[in-house]
Amino acid sequence: MIMKGYFMKSSIALMVLSAALASCTQDEIVQNDVPTRQTLNISVNTQDFVSEDGSRATTGTDAGRTTAFVEGDAMGVYVISSDGTVICNNEKFVYDGKVWNAENELYYWKNANYIAYYPYNADLTAQNITKVEEIKTKFAEPVDFYTQNTAEAYEKADLMLAEVNNPVDEIIQFNLAHQFSMVEINVPVRKYVTSDGYKYTAPVGMADDSTIKIGESDVKPYMAGKGTFRFIVPSGEISLTLDGRLVYDENIPVYFGKSEAESINLEANSCKVYNVTYNKISETEVERDIEVGDYYYADGSIYPYGNQNENDCPAPVKNGCIGIVFSTTGVNDTDGVNTWNHGYVLSFKNTPDVGMWSADATVTLGEKYYVAGTDFTTEGSVEARNAFLDLKNGYLVTQELIKQENAFAAHEAVAYGDTYPEFSAPEGLSSGWYLPSVGQIYAMLDNLGELDFTTDKQQAHLFLDRDGSRDREAKEAARDKVIEKIQKINADYTLKDSRVWLCNEGANDKAWAIQWFDNWVGFHTDDKTISNNNQKIVRPILSF
């Protein structure tokens, strides 16, 4: 699991770990044979990066640079005798969210040198490490050291280390400090606030043709927060070339820096901060409500495209875009901790494989969650039809369905970010992906497809009609308007030629779906276990 401390707002953490380890067996003891073995007790402190002037800077959208561990993080520990013999070699400790646990057994040794480092690197086990400098050398050796454009890669480069010589106390305290230096670039971000007080930002990225170099090595920085880019460099004197291009709007680069290299000298555990200014970005928040047609990004940013009115922008950024906003009303989903009530987002791609809604008819939630398949086209069915189309319960139903192992479509929707990592939804800021309801897909067609059914839905039968070929022209026009908008991000994105499962059941053995073919567009129910050519795929949505 990734240590997310590079942009977390938290104070220095004190973690205590107790391990009773025996990877150092009796045969390996070279001295200090302890009559009664004492458990090794270790406390771990972490230190923040500090800016050049020694202060703990608070620039950009990240208020601090504190290191905080999360469950699953791992570090390595060495115990080396006074004559240089390795007593314990690269022992792995894993953080469980509260304490650090050793994978083997370990005991306290007097008159020994203790080294702890983070993050754990299994390759060091075979390197005969006896000194901290050897660990630092190994960490800086990889040819891809400066490719740090993911959280994993950035963490891998950021070596933290502590050494305790001949501890007199049986509780050994490690004060982990960054062994390298960090360069941070803060750039202006478009900031917005809605009329009801919800704050959001537009995306900003670093263009691929930016020239950032340490000596002759190209650097790919990590976007640690909105408008904050970071990369780790070896401490000491380095040659830095910073000739960047920012992307606020697609194909409209904003240049900063200079093409000539400069020499900078950085101490370990320090950072060099560059603050970029751009007079076309307001320093204050602009009031603008989120609109249908805005684009949604993996970091929770929203590009203000809308209907190209005041405060809208003309060219949505493609990189990092994961969906399009199709509704800003009637949204009210919660996991008990977070609430998402600002908008719905349609994903850009279908899942790659067709499949059944469920393994069998026993996967059902009962009357509380579904409306039986009915002919909604009769005069007397208007009330029931309108109620069904108002039902926007995709998140709730999906969360119930995934409690059942054989609810295949629901599980596939929730795993959409695993299927397509580039479309991973932001955790906490959004609900994550889920199966939409009939009502939510209808709202998508009504809003993005610009249907004029909002007032009374009297023509809703155009989509709920069992005869999908009826009124084909109107339905295809709505579908094609949606396609036109999602293709502003990628010309390959489409809705055509697919059958898509929805969350609502039509009966114990049936579930609702929508079909997007040229000769048949509309909602219908089908057997949950349907096979062969009628198998369907998943096109999830999320709430934010």
Of 94-108, 223-237, 469-483, which range is least confident? 469-483
Contact assessment for residue 135 and residue 117, using Cβ atoms and an 8 Å cutoff: yes
**426 has pLDDT over 80:** yes
Between CA 78 and CA 97, with CA 12 as vertex, the angle to 5 degrees is: 65
Domain locations in the chain?
5-179, 183-275, 324-543
Instruction: Give the number of C-alpha atoms closer than 13 A to the C-alpha of residue 148, restricted to the C-beta side.
Output: 28
Of 268-277, 369-378, 436-445, which range is least confident? 369-378
Nearest to 182 by CA among 267, 116, 125, 110: 267
**Strand locations in 317-470, DSSP E?**
321-327, 333-334, 339-340, 344-347
Domain covering 5-179, topology: Immunoglobulin-like (2.60.40)
Instruction: Name the CA dihedral angle for 396, 399, 403, 407, rounded to a multiple of 10 degrees.
Output: 90
Q: What percent of the chain has pLDDT over 70?
A: 84
User: How large is the average pLDDT for residues 437-460?
Assistant: 74
What is the reported pTM?
Answer: 0.84
**452 has pLDDT over 90:** no
Return d(Cα 430, Cα 298) in angstroms, integer: 10
Amino acid identity, position 342: H
- For residue 125, what pLDDT is reported? 96
Return d(Cα 239, Cα 262) in angstroms, integer: 6
For 252, the 3-state DSSP assignment is strand
Strands 321-327 and 499-507: unpaired
Query: Containing H/E element for 510?
Result: strand 510-517
Of 85-99, 130-144, 160-174, which range is least confident? 160-174
- For residue 425, what pLDDT is reported? 98
pLDDT in tens, 232-264: 999 999 999 999 999 999 999 999 999 999 999
What confidence category does residue 18 fall into, taking pLDDT thresholds of 50, 70 and 90?
Answer: very low
User: How large is the average pLDDT for residues 181-201?
Assistant: 97
pLDDT in tens, 369-389: 766 665 665 666 777 777 888
Cβ-proximal residues to 527 (8 Å cutoff; 6+ apart), any chain = 509, 510
Q: Which of 316-320, 460-464, 477-481 has the highest mean pLDDT?
A: 316-320
- For residue 205, what pLDDT is reported? 94
Q: Give the pair of three-digit tokens for residue 85.
A: 């013999």
Nearest to 245 by CA among 200, 284, 218, 276: 276
- For residue 376, what pLDDT is reported? 67
CA distances from 370 to 121, 251, 391, 394, 426 (A): 51, 46, 10, 11, 29
**Strand locations in 219-280, DSSP E?**
222-225, 228-233, 236-249, 252-266, 270-275
Return d(Cα 316, Cα 248) in angstroms, integer: 8
**271 has pLDDT over 70:** yes
**199 has pLDDT over 50:** yes
**Strand locations in 344-451, DSSP E?**
344-347
Beta-ladder partners of 112: 81
- For residue 361, what pLDDT is reported? 83
**188 has pLDDT over 70:** yes
**39 has pLDDT over 50:** yes
Mean pLDDT of the chain: 85
CA 257 centroid distance within chain: 29
For 78, the 3-state DSSP assignment is strand
